[in-house]
A and B are shown apart, each in its own frame.
Chain A
Amino acid sequence: KAGVTQTPRYLIKTRGQQVTLSCSPISGHRSVSWYQQTPGQGLQFLFEYFSETQRNKGNFPGRFSGRQFSNSRSEMNVSTLELGDSALYLCASSLTEGVNTEAFFGQGTRLTVV
């Protein structure tokens, strides 16, 4: 079956703009989480959605937001982009929201803010 699909793969935006990233989870998976990866920082948790509801949120400013649709697809939005938002944004899907559930990652969206 198809894996986690993230679009677009690459993006270049200007400071002050806003951006929307998309994630389609594995068919049947209902939980979607978003992570930001920057050099030296590992993967920082952004938020998690399950059944269209945000279940967990990381320590990111309100410029970062997301949502999940009834088909479990998720979008992440970043408004008023800053240079420091340049990163690889990874989406992970899992079957349920419970712990010990293996998360499957997409290839990520590489965002560059100039």
Chain B
Amino acid sequence: DQQVKQNSPSLSVQEGRISILNCDYTNSMFDYFLWYKKYPAEGPTFLISISSIKDKNEDGRFTVFLNKSAKHLSLHIVPSQPGDSAVYFCAAEKTSGSRLTFGEGTQLTVNP
């Protein structure tokens, strides 16, 4: 039962354009959401997070949007840079537990 889903295994964008990565979840108990970025041969690194009491969180070029009614969140990267090319994982957790539930990941490729 995949409670966090990233339906796009890959995304390709041009440098300077916007990258939009999507994530859907099914468990309404999730109340904190995170995005991790992973380069080959490295562990995932934390990128940005959002609490369920918010609908938007911004950090530089990265913005995460949360639509609780649709159980959907998205990560926007503007402008996209070639160094952003990596696998992006969406993750969620519940207040009652500390384990992270991850999506399958989306491979982002930013072309120069």
Q: A residues engaging B (CB < 8 A)?
A: 4, 31, 33, 35, 40-45, 48, 55-56, 58, 90, 92, 94, 97-108
B44–A90 CB distance below 8 A = yes
B104 within 8 A of A: yes
Residues B29-53 near A (CB distance < 8 A): 32, 34, 36, 41-46, 49, 51
B103–A33 CB distance below 8 A = no
**Chain B 83-107 interface mask (CB, 8 Å, partner A; 1/0):** 0000001010111011111111100
Contacts of B32 in A (CB 8 A): 99-100
Q: B residues engaging A (CB < 8 A)?
A: 4, 6, 9, 32, 34, 36, 41-46, 49, 51, 89, 91, 93-95, 97-105
Instruction: Find A107's partner among B6, B42, B98, B102 (CB 8 Å cutoff).
Output: B42
Contacts of B105 in A (CB 8 A): 42
Instruction: Find A33's partner among B89, B100, B104 (CB 8 Å cutoff).
Output: B100
A45–B104 CB distance below 8 A = no
